[in-house]
Amino acid sequence: MRAELRAKIITVCHKKIETKGDNVGVSFYAFFANKNDDPELLMEAATWWIQTHRLDHFVKDHKVIEIIQKESEE
């Protein structure tokens, strides 16, 4: 996953946790505007979410952050 997308996902997850609490869930659509202004980036996120990690539609934000941080360490 490109660094731009990784950073965006972590930022969005942290903001959601701050505003909605520790138990908040997220789907990969949360990282994009309601319009399809960057289809390649959307498909990259969808592939990472669905094919690579086989995540459910909604996943706890903390889990998503944990996965991304673990991948960054590898």
Cα end-to-end distance, the chain, whole Å: 12
Cβ(13)–Cβ(64) under 8 Å? yes
Tokens of 57: 């539609």
Task: Kindly indicate the confidence band of residue 36, based on its pLDDT and cuts at 50, 70 and 90.
Answer: confident
Q: Which amino acid would we find at residue 32?
A: F
Query: Which pLDDT does position 64 carry in this prediction?
Result: 96
Beta strands in 4-58 (DSSP E): 25-26
Instruction: Report the residue count for the chain.
Output: 74
Q: Are strands 59-60 and 25-26 parallel, antiparallel or unpaired?
A: antiparallel
The larger pLDDT score, comparing residue 61 to residue 28, is at 61
